[in-house]
Amino acid sequence: MSKDTYSDLRRGPSVGESDLAPPPKEIIAYELHGNCYLNLTWRCTLRCSFCPKFKNIWTVQGYDLRLHHEPEPEDILDAVGDPPRYREIVFCGLGEPTMRLGVLMEVAGTLKRQNANIRINTDGLANLLYGKDITPRFKGLIDTVSISMNVQNRKLYEQYCRPGLPDAWPAMLDFINKVKTQVPHVIITAIEGLPDVDIQECRDIASKLGVEFRIRHLDVVG
């Protein structure tokens, strides 16, 4: 992969600007199931074939998550309001939150000082993206990391998730091994309903890695 392509992944949107007509009011934080979800970016290191945003669907549980700019830490903290109100504060998207690692860490630090319980939902490719192990930065700040493994092997991962970086599958598995030494709770998820995805094999991978496993359902967002 060329350096330019890496730069593009780290800088630019992975969907066309024309898809990003601003909604009436941008939603940076939204509440679901007693949790507060944070919408940091639309950018991704993957282009999952099942992703709703590639069908121009940006609505999650009634919240329109289109952004026309990426929020700054103060915008995000203002949008959260009172952190103790929530069971968890979840860095999510409709994009990959670790693509804004500096902002994520700054916001997480402020929230943790207010005793928030913090989760990151991620594709687990941050170490590959940044070319180093970033998981020690999570220690003491992040309570849970949930990694979207999605499928049970590299072939299906490349078929469905269409990574923009080479060797993404082994890098994601390595990320799981590293992050579980830094945070108390690690979950990997897979998608039930995608053809050829074997949920039992996914569960077995989680068991071998010594992390929790959860099922997500195809076409159910949120």
Q: Which residues bind ligand SF4 (CB under 6 A)?
A: 44, 46-48, 51, 53, 93-96, 123
CA distance 220 to 218: 6
Closest CA relative to residue 93, chosen from 55, 54, 122:
122
Nearer to ligand SF4, 135 or 146 (CB): 146
Least distance from ligand SF4 to the Cβ atom of residue 82, Å: 28
In whole angstroms, the minimum distance from the beta carbon of 206 to ligand SF4 comes to 18
Nearer to ligand SF4 (CB atom), residue 46 or residue 67: 46
Residues 6+ apart with CB under 8 A from 54: 15, 47, 48
Residue 44 CB, shortest distance to ligand SF4, in Å, is: 3
Query: Between residues 47 and 112, which has the closer beta carbon with respect to ligand SF4?
Result: 47
Residues 96-106, buried b or exposed e (16+ Cβ, 10 A)? Answer: bbbbbbebbbb
CB 186 to ligand SF4: min, Å: 17
Q: Which helix (H) or strand (E) holds 130?
A: helix 126-130
